[in-house]
Amino acid sequence: MESLHFGIRSGKHGTASDHLAYITRQGSYAARNDLVETGYGNMPEFAKNDPMKLWKASERHERKNGSVFRSFTVSLPNVLMVDQLKELAWIEARTLAGIKPFQFALHMPCSSLQGELNPHVHVVVCDRIPDGIERPPELMFRRYHPTNPEKGGCRKDSGGKTPQALRAHLIDQRRAVTEQINAALSKHGHTIRIDHRTLKERGIDRAPERYLGPAKIRKMTKEEREAYVKKKRGEN
């Protein structure tokens, strides 16, 4: 049973444009040769043909201490073919976003440590819930007006929820994306399965694997890299 890598971060003001350029490999990130698929959905009318307009509007009009976006990173099985991964990336994006505006990008870099393909999908979601009322950008991100919704902004999905409720929702999201991955594995004839639970919840007594980003990997010595790979493969 394989473990799920599921990361989430909240986007602060001033980070949306660069983050979207990063995942879609635009601008200074265009030279990276690992973008496989990108797409978007549920956009408001003003951003229907250009999703960047939504993220820029969020930076401009969202309250200063509010999240401009939520970004998920989900690892995908490298046993799936490219077309199968593309289909799964769309499914995961829609699963995480629901009816909210989203943009995603499927990356397939080669692992710096093991030399294996490392497919994963980035899903960026706007926390504002569409309600059928078309609003201009400057109105969409205002405070929600429950009595006269057309006079205020779209309601925030996370608004008013307790930390316990937000954590429960996050666990549900982890479970949902795992179910979609396992459905894809089953559909395409693979026997491996992914488990969304923590090692402790699964009764496994060992420390969780530490995520190593590209910057950390570059700083590792040859010996440290070899030791890490052996440990990951369960070798002595």
Show which residues are catalytic.
22
d(CA 161, CA 173): 16
Q: What is the 3-state secondary structure (H, E, C) of 82-114?
A: HHHHHHHHHHHHHHHHCCCCEEEEEECCECCCC
Contact 123, 71 (CB under 8 A): yes
- Biggest alpha carbon–alpha carbon distance for the chain: 65
Residue 67, classed as helix, strand or coil, is coil
d(CA 38, CA 33): 14
Helix axis angle for 52-61 and 16-23, nearest 10°, is 160
